[in-house]
Chains A and B, each alone.
Chain A
Amino acid sequence: MNALLAIMQRDLLMVMRRKSEVLTALFFFVIVSSLFPLGIGPEPALLRKIAPGVLWVGALLATMLGLQRMFAADYADGTLEQMAISPTPLVVLVLGKVAAHWLVSGLPLVLIAPVLGIQFDLDASALGVLVLALLLGTPLLSLIGAIGAALTLGVRGGGVLLSLLVLPLYVPALIFGAGAVESHVSGLGAGGHLSLLAALLTLALFFAPWAATAALRIALE
């Protein structure tokens, strides 16, 4: 447990020393989701309809930005080797790194999403559902992304490969996440979609760290 907190603290400290990483993902999200209202023009009905999908796709792509760096620096400077042979199980350290990644590139998106939602003329309760869906969905994105990041570690041109590998796996999160807001707006209630999202998150929380750990061990061989 201490080791898990220590690795989170270390990764967050390094991000604080180099703030550009958080800010790029955040600004990317802001700009991409602001382009749509600007491009489509003042048509509130249409904007309300596309809002959940656009915001979710924006969040998806924004979390992708930092993914490749999740293990790359540790791999390059030998820290990953030390983690692999440390008395602390590697899977615990991987979970710590995923948690740090979410805090850096997932949580800020959740916090800024309601502000961006206003551009799409979403009402307060729909914004609430959006935040809730993102709160459940973004950790899922980090967890799935960790598997992709570990699998493409040390591969030349891994960035493109990573997108090809991870984006299809993001589809369920996108469908249920955007679906939650849509069904809330249409009066069906978001409960079902949110429960499915929570179930996916629980599942990923159990399996993704193990899968990422196995992939890291292969990369280190």
Chain B
Amino acid sequence: MLSAHGLTCVRGDRRLFAQLDLSVDAGEWLHVRGENGAGKTSLLRLLAGLSQPAEGEIRWCGQSIRDSDSPYRQNLLYFGHHGALKEDLTAMENLGFSAAMDGIAYRDGEALAALYKFGLKGREELPVRVLSAGQKRRVMLARLAIRKAKLWVLDEPFTALDVKAVDLLANLISDHVAGGGMAVLTSHQTMPIPGGRVIQL
């Protein structure tokens, strides 16, 4: 489904990686590993379509993701280092507006259920500003449950999460993968999710 051919990433005058091939099919996930500065985030940004590779091409279902009629964006959910949360808005509003901007029909009940699942019961109407770092992260991850995307591209999704939330997220990812979804993620931990392949940068 997702495949990349001969990817080369250049940052400034440094070549981070060259001629990288990868592919992820339904029911698989890819664990991108490497030292700090090896280019993990750069690779994920390339896959998300946020930056363009110096060489090579990324394809979704055989079609380049740069094609304007590619259904790639409908199928992609990307989380970067930043939470993309508005501090002045509540968790519910944040989820609602991000769904609306993505053009996704959603019901308040779904958002509530997702927030409860991530242990944010009673905090759904608080401005995100007053939540802790881990709780903010949980609000952000609640989007995984709302946005029904086939491909998850997650950059360090386990940062700032406590043990319970790490388990919860790992389960969520394995359910997603088991249900025919795909995931590409970076993490320094090893993860007990079946069906994974490691790519070392």
- List A residues at the B interface (Cβ < 8 Å): 2-3, 6-7, 9-10, 13-14, 17-18, 76-79, 81-88, 93, 220-221
Further 11 A-B residue pairs, CB within 8 A, beyond A76-B82, A81-B48 = A3-B103, A14-B86, A14-B88, A77-B84, A77-B87, A81-B50, A83-B101, A85-B78, A87-B74, A87-B103, A220-B50
Q: Is the interface of B mostly helix, strand, loop or mixed?
A: loop
- B50 and A10 within 8 A (CB): no
Query: How far in angstroms is the closest Cβ of chain A from B152?
Result: 13
- B89 and A14 within 8 A (CB): yes
B51 interface neighbour in A10, A86, A88, A220, Cβ under 8 Å: A220
Q: Which of B76, B81, B103 has the most CB of A within 10 A?
A: B103
Q: List 6 A-B contacts (CB under 8 A).
A: A77-B85, A78-B82, A79-B86, A82-B98, A86-B73, A86-B102
Q: Which residues of A contact B6 (CB under 8 A)?
A: none
Q: Is the interface of A mostly helix, strand, loop or mixed?
A: helix
- B88 and A17 within 8 A (CB): yes
For the complex of A and B, the 9 pairs showing the least CB-CB separation, nearest first, are A78-B82, A6-B100, A78-B84, A17-B88, A10-B97, A87-B73, A82-B84, A87-B74, A79-B84
B41-89 contacts to A, CB under 8 A, are 48-52, 73-74, 76, 78, 80-89
A93 interface neighbour in B51, B74, B85, B101, Cβ under 8 Å: B101
Query: How far in angstroms is the closest Cβ of chain B from A118?
Result: 36
A-B contacts at CB below 8 angstroms, number: 77
- A18 and B102 within 8 A (CB): no
- List B residues at the A interface (Cβ < 8 Å): 48-52, 73-74, 76, 78, 80-89, 93, 97-98, 100-104, 127
Nearest to B102 among chain A residues (CB) is A86
Nearest to B82 among chain A residues (CB) is A78
B50 interface neighbour in A7, A18, A221, Cβ under 8 Å: A221
- A78 and B83 within 8 A (CB): yes
- A13 and B89 within 8 A (CB): yes
B76 interface neighbour in A2, A14, A85, Cβ under 8 Å: A85
Q: How far is the CA of A88 from the CA of B76 in the complex (A)?
A: 12
Q: Which residues of B contact A3 (CB under 8 A)?
A: 100-103
- A87 and B102 within 8 A (CB): yes
- A81 and B102 within 8 A (CB): no
Q: Which residues of A contact B82 (CB under 8 A)?
A: 76-78, 81
Nearest to A76 among chain B residues (CB) is B82
Q: How far is the CA of A87 from the CA of B101 in the complex (A)?
A: 8
A6-B50 contact in complex given A87-B73, A87-B74, C-beta closer than 8 Å:
no
Q: Which of A13, A78, A221 has the most CB of B within 10 A?
A: A78
Q: How far is the CA of A2 from the CA of B80 in the complex (A)?
A: 25
Q: Which residues of B contact A18 (CB under 8 A)?
A: 88
Query: How far in angstroms is the closest Cβ of chain B from A84?
Result: 6
Q: How far is the CA of A221 from the CA of B45 in the complex (A)?
A: 9
Q: Which residues of A contact B100 (CB under 8 A)?
A: 2-3, 6
Q: Which residues of B contact A10 (CB under 8 A)?
A: 86, 89, 93, 97, 101
Q: How far is the CA of A17 from the CA of B93 in the complex (A)?
A: 13
Q: Which residues of B contact A221 (CB under 8 A)?
A: 50-52
Q: How far is the CA of A88 from the CA of B98 in the complex (A)?
A: 11
Nearest to A79 among chain B residues (CB) is B84
A85-B86 contact in complex given A6-B97, A6-B100, A7-B101, C-beta closer than 8 Å:
no
Q: Which residues of A contact B104 (CB under 8 A)?
A: 87
Q: How far is the CA of A85 from the CA of B76 in the complex (A)?
A: 8
Q: How far is the CA of A208 from the CA of B84 in the complex (A)?
A: 25
Q: Which of A18, A83, A87, A88 has the most CB of B within 10 A?
A: A87
